[in-house]
Amino acid sequence: MQYSKMLRSSLQQILFALLVASLIIGCDSTGSTPDDPDPTPGDDGAVSFSLIRSANSTLPSDADSASIRVWKPDGGFNLVEIVDIPDPGQETEASLEVPADEGYRAGVLVLTEATGSRFVNKRVLGHGSSAQFGVNSKDTSAVSLDVRPAEVTIELPDSIPPGVTDTISATYGVNVPDVSERIDASKGNTEAFGFTDGQYLNEISSSETDSSVTSAFEITGPGSGRDTTYVRVRVELAGSVQWLPVGRDIRFDFFPSNEDPAFSLPVASENKDGTVIITFSKTGNGWKKTRRIVE
| Residue 148 burial (10 A CB sphere; 0-12, 13-18, 19+) | middle
- Residue 42: the pLDDT is 54
Say if 4-12+151-294 and 20-146 have the same CATH topology.
Answer: yes
Give the distance from CA 249 to its chain's centroid: 16
Q: Is the pLDDT of residue 160 over 70?
A: yes
Q: What span, in angstroms and rounded, lies between the C-alpha atoms of 242 and 221?
A: 41
The model's pLDDT over 240-273, given as tens digits with 9 standing for 90+, comes to 889 987 777 887 899 998 889 999 999 987 555 5
Q: What span, in angstroms and rounded, lies between the C-alpha atoms of 172 and 255?
A: 10
Beta-strand pair 44-52/133-135: unpaired
| Residue 235 burial (10 A CB sphere; 0-12, 13-18, 19+) | buried
The model's pLDDT over 95-140, given as tens digits with 9 standing for 90+, comes to 888 888 899 999 999 998 876 555 557 889 989 999 998 888 866 5
The model's pLDDT over 2-31, given as tens digits with 9 standing for 90+, comes to 223 343 222 222 233 334 444 444 333 223
How many residues make up the chain in this entry?
A: 295
Q: What span, in angstroms and rounded, lies between the C-alpha atoms of 198 and 184?
A: 12
Under 8 Å between Cβ of 102 and 139? no
Specify the pTM.
0.76
Provide φ and ψ at 245, rounded to 5°: -65, 165
Q: What span, in angstroms and rounded, lies between the C-alpha atoms of 163 and 293?
A: 16
Helix (H, G, I), strand (E, B) or coil at 101: strand
Q: 4-12+151-294 falls under which CATH superfamily?
A: Immunoglobulins (2.60.40.10)
Average pLDDT value over all residues in the chain: 77
The model's pLDDT over 201-246, given as tens digits with 9 standing for 90+, comes to 999 999 999 999 999 999 999 987 889 999 999 999 887 889 987 7
Contacts of 188 (CB under 8 A, 6+ apart): 194, 197, 198, 199, 229, 230, 231, 232, 262
Q: What span, in angstroms and rounded, lies between the C-alpha atoms of 233 and 290?
A: 22
Under 8 Å between Cβ of 221 and 229? yes
| Residue 120 burial (10 A CB sphere; 0-12, 13-18, 19+) | middle
Domain boundaries, the chain: 4-12+151-294, 20-146
**Fold designation for 20-146:** Immunoglobulin-like (2.60.40)
